Amino acid sequence: MHEMSIAEGIVQVLEDQAKAQCYTRVKTVWLEIGPLAMIETEALSFCFEAVTRDTLAEGAVLNIIKIKGEAFCMQCLKNVPITERYDSCVDCGSYQLQVVQGDEMRIKELEVE
């Protein structure tokens, strides 16, 4: 449900940046989203289309770059891949993991006019 707030947050950043970067229309938005960012990307795309109506990003294409999840295993002392918070280490099975990558939720790049 909070995808709507997130989509509104994106539009807000686009509008704030419009002044600083001197553009009046956004054609494409590239987002980086990790598997642990609590974002359902399909819901976000749906909300983005709804909230961009009558804004400088109306009709903009939303591209989502999926980042891989990674955690540091305290037992193996190395980074291992994860896709969920409750995953165990793929090598040793331990749950003593510290997430190092995968909760990103950022606007990376824009195509603007």
Q: Does 91 sit near another protein (CB under 8 A)? A: no
Q: Which of the stretches 3-11, 63-71, 75-83 binds another protein when contact is defined by CB under 8 A?
A: 3-11
Q: Does 83 sit near another protein (CB under 8 A)? A: no
**Cβ of residue 78: shortest distance to another protein, in angstroms?**
17
Q: Does 56 sit near another protein (CB under 8 A)? A: yes
Q: How far, in Å, CA of 19 to CA of 73, rounded?
A: 44
DSSP code string of 60-107 = -EEEEEEPPEEEEETTTTEEEEESSTTPPPTTT----EEEEES--EEE
Q: Does 43 sit near another protein (CB under 8 A)? A: no
Q: Which of the stretches 12-20, 61-69, 75-83 binds another protein when contact is defined by CB under 8 A?
A: 12-20
Q: How far, in Å, CA of 80 to CA of 108, rounded?
A: 25
Tokens 């980074």, located at residue: 79
**Cβ of residue 45: shortest distance to another protein, in angstroms?**
14
